[in-house]
Amino acid sequence: MRIYNFLSKKVGELTIKYSNLPESYIKRSYEQVYWKNPKGYPQYPAAQIARKNYRFTTNRPWTMQFGRQNERTTQRKKVFLEPIGEWMYFKGDRVEILVGRDKGKQGIVSQVIQERNWVIVEGLNTHLRVVGKDKSFPGITVQSEAPLLVTTGVKLVDPETLKATDVEWRYTEEGEKVRVSTNSGRIIPIPKAAQETVDYKSRELYMENPDKDTTAAVANKITFAPKLQTFEMDIMESMGIKEDRTPATTYWY
């Protein structure tokens, strides 16, 4: 149980949101449990043998690549993560790069990897990578973006001055939680692209699967009418099942 809680803390909230998968599925897809004591026997404690340390990279936890990177035999060095408090960076944010070759340039966040305090900025901080090199084929060179640390690598851009700024979370008078630039005091809205998941770009654009999904109209329809009945009584009444027998007194101990 202890190990389980420990694991669940590791995958970031935004990662789960982006995947659009149930949390339980993400857990069971990346977890490596080698042994679990059988349930329901008093002589066995609820113990399990599982991998404790996973290396989170740009490969998302539910993918096959993640599993391959965390094979049973591989053990990698511990990654130290700077505690950063509340997360500030979302997909679609405009950020300025503070380190590396593209220092001073501004770009759009294309990926957020919360497990490592990383963001990937579109088309910036890149390196060249040779793909598919063979004896007979020289390979194709592609540009790939390297992740940047949110603590030292990037800063959000103030929409007023268009310059890098520190940001903090505050509440508006309506009680809404917003990001506010400390330089100009302007609200930096969370971009629409932050809603994007693996399945859809934004919530409204989700295409219902007519075979499997309940349509929104049916799901939102209110059919509940309060009655002084238990669930079972109501179902029996609607199905015309009559039960007049009184149950014998029983004892709970």
* Positions that interact with another protein (CB under 8 A): 20-22, 24-25, 28-29, 80, 82-85, 151, 199, 206, 208-209, 211-214, 219-225, 228-232, 234-235, 238, 248, 250-253
User: In the complex, what is the shortest distance from the CB of residue 249 to another protein, in angstroms, rounded to a whole number?
Assistant: 8
Strand arrangement, sheet containing 164-165: 148-149, 118-121, 106-113, 94-97, 154-157, 164-165
Nearer to another protein, 162 or 235 (CB): 235
Please tell me the distance from the alpha carbon of residue 208 to that of residue 204, in angstroms, as a whole number. Answer: 10
Nearer to another protein, 73 or 209 (CB): 209
The burial class, CB within 10 Å (0-12 / 13-18 / 19+), for 7 is middle
Nearer to another protein, 34 or 80 (CB): 80
Nearer to another protein, 130 or 235 (CB): 235
Cα dihedral sign, 92-94-95-96: positive
User: In the complex, what is the shortest distance from the CB of residue 214 to another protein, in angstroms, rounded to a whole number?
Assistant: 8
The CA-CA-CA angle for residues 169, 175, 177, to 5°, reads 25
Residue among 143, 158, 100, 148 nearest 121 (CA): 148
User: In the complex, what is the shortest distance from the CB of residue 148 to another protein, in angstroms, rounded to a whole number?
Assistant: 15
User: In the complex, what is the shortest distance from the CB of residue 243 to another protein, in angstroms, rounded to a whole number?
Assistant: 16
Cα dihedral sign, 116-117-122-124: negative
Nearer to another protein, 221 or 245 (CB): 221
User: In the complex, what is the shortest distance from the CB of residue 229 to another protein, in angstroms, rounded to a whole number?
Assistant: 7
User: In the complex, what is the shortest distance from the CB of residue 223 to another protein, in angstroms, rounded to a whole number?
Assistant: 4
Nearer to another protein, 162 or 233 (CB): 233
Task: State the DSSP H helix or E strand holding residue 236, giving kind and residue range, or none if neither.
Answer: helix 231-238
Nearer to another protein, 128 or 228 (CB): 228
Tokens standing for 204?
């409204």
Whether residue 154 contacts residue 162, with contact meaning beta carbons closer than 8 Å, is answered with no
Whether residue 191 contacts residue 90, with contact meaning beta carbons closer than 8 Å, is answered with yes
User: In the complex, what is the shortest distance from the CB of residue 87 to another protein, in angstroms, rounded to a whole number?
Assistant: 12
